[in-house]
A and B are shown apart, each in its own frame.
Chain A
């Protein structure tokens, strides 16, 4: 038991693990949807502490990773314009577009700024009335409500020089797409706690029933993840498939009604492409017609930009749980955090980055040597 002493409460961790070991009789494959959970799992070696029969498959829950190349290219195009101040969260800076990233755009003279909150971008717009301020609005259901509120405020306060490049994604349609794939091996889901703290659990019973798959809302701490696994495995062993909440201290069944109401006002559901995966029907949000004036794609006429994703990066398979990061040929050699081929190696929540950070020693020796950066 390699890492168990590092747990918040090693005693409780051991009890949960013992319980899981005692419950499992057959092999089960569970998917943790959220990239934060993936990091917690790899960092604490949870996947190695679990019985061999329980496999954790990493899901697509990293917003940076799933933002399509095409959208990154649109962002780069807009950010390069002299009249534009382009505002983004910090983790988008090094996500490769075709040939370059936002970090390089700034090196070439683009006015790219990192903000902590979308409201900061709105403030920058108020302070710079002679410039166009564009905010890069990506993320899942946790990020969408803050961005929705910001567009709502821009309209309310009549700030004409603010717009948003919107590429929001929704988790339930991704679960549906994963379960509908003929190569799907997932038998149970650890649903992302923070997404559910906004959206509640209402979208899940139908999915659990249709695919006969248990869905257990799970937090991020190692103990939360063990508890999520324990409850999922218990259901599977009993032949059940219900929605269960193992993160009740942060998730209420109805989520956050005020946030959901704002989402419904500002956005409308649309088909959305996921990087490496392709279009998933109804899996995204775009601005609703009454907020179209704030849509950066229209304002800067970048709707026409179409890009092909490179073939050598297999992050699409990684994101769907079909391939483990280190099974990718480029992992740790051609592709490192310094020279990333895909977003899953860049993002702090990306599965390839997690393996690179915490699992490099498990690589074959020659590969690990090649991967060591030359200083």
Chain B
């Protein structure tokens, strides 16, 4: 969750007085707030964290980082179904047995 993921701006629009963009993260498309990077343009790459663009990035680095994150399973983590992941991690063991009592 702490990791920010690079993405490419597909388009930009004003919504509720807020500058928002549609951003492509290697196939997954999300709404992203541009208030912290207001001069970001369509076609540019930025580091995006929990729906906010935080810093510009060049295309080559963005592509490499995306590949690494995909390989580490972090994209799945960020954009996959968290309930499924949690259920899988919890396995079939009775919940009472989870430690930390």
Interface residues of chain A, those whose CB is within 8 Å of chain B, are 8, 34-36, 39-40, 43, 61-64, 89-91, 93-94, 96-101, 103-104, 107, 114, 116-120, 139-140, 142-143, 145-147, 149, 153, 157, 192, 194, 197-198, 219-222, 249-252, 256, 258-259, 262, 310, 312-313, 334-335, 337-342, 346-349, 373
Determine if A349 and B50 form an interchain contact, defined as CB atoms under 8 angstroms apart. Answer: no
Determine if A103 and B51 form an interchain contact, defined as CB atoms under 8 angstroms apart. Answer: no
Interface residues on B, range: 35 or more
Determine if A103 and B86 form an interchain contact, defined as CB atoms under 8 angstroms apart. Answer: yes
In the complex the two chains form, what is the Cα distance from A81 to B74 in whole Å? Answer: 32
Known: A39-B72, A96-B99, A258-B36. A90 touches B86 (CB 8 A): yes
In the complex the two chains form, what is the Cα distance from A37 to B51 in whole Å? Answer: 21
Cross-chain contact of B77 among A97, A149, A335, A348 (Cβ < 8 A): A348
Cross-chain contact of A339 among B52, B85, B97 (Cβ < 8 A): B97
The answer to whether B27 has its CB under 8 Å from any CB of chain A is: no
Determine if B49 and A194 form an interchain contact, defined as CB atoms under 8 angstroms apart. Answer: yes
Contact with A along B64-89 (1 / 0, CB 8 A): 11011000111001110011011101
Cross-chain contact of B37 among A62, A118, A149, A256 (Cβ < 8 A): A256
Determine if B90 and A335 form an interchain contact, defined as CB atoms under 8 angstroms apart. Answer: no
Q: Which interface residue of B4, B73, B100 has the most chain A CB atoms within 10 A?
A: B100
Task: Output the nearest chain A residue to B98 by Cβ-Cβ distance.
Answer: A339
Determine if A145 and B36 form an interchain contact, defined as CB atoms under 8 angstroms apart. Answer: yes
Known: A149-B35, A349-B1. A334 touches B99 (CB 8 A): yes
Determine if B50 and A118 form an interchain contact, defined as CB atoms under 8 angstroms apart. Answer: yes
Cross-chain contact of A149 among B33, B68, B86, B93 (Cβ < 8 A): B33
Interface residues of chain B, those whose CB is within 8 Å of chain A, are 1-4, 16, 18, 30-31, 33, 35-38, 47, 49-52, 54-55, 57-58, 61, 64-65, 67-68, 72-74, 77-79, 82-83, 85-87, 89-91, 93, 95, 97-101
In the complex the two chains form, what is the Cα distance from A101 to B100 in whole Å? Answer: 10
Task: Output the nearest chain B residue to A149 by Cβ-Cβ distance.
Answer: B35
Task: Output the nearest chain B residue to A106 by Cβ-Cβ distance.
Answer: B83
Determine if A120 and B89 form an interchain contact, defined as CB atoms under 8 angstroms apart. Answer: no
In the complex the two chains form, what is the Cα distance from A341 to B73 in whole Å? Answer: 23
In the complex the two chains form, what is the Cα distance from A122 to B95 in whole Å? Answer: 31
Note all chain B residues with C-beta closer than 8 A to A373.
91
Task: Output the nearest chain B residue to A37 by Cβ-Cβ distance.
Answer: B3
Known: A43-B72, A139-B1. A94 touches B18 (CB 8 A): no
Cross-chain contact of B2 among A103, A219, A342, A349 (Cβ < 8 A): A349
Note all chain B residues with C-beta closer than 8 A to A146.
33, 49-52
Q: How far is the CB of A274 from chain B (nearest CB, A)?
A: 14
In the complex the two chains form, what is the Cα distance from A120 to B50 in whole Å? Answer: 10
Note all chain B residues with C-beta closer than 8 A to A341.
99-100
Given contacts A219-B65, A250-B47, A338-B90, 7 further A-B contacts (CB under 8 A): A63-B1, A117-B33, A142-B4, A149-B36, A194-B54, A221-B64, A256-B55
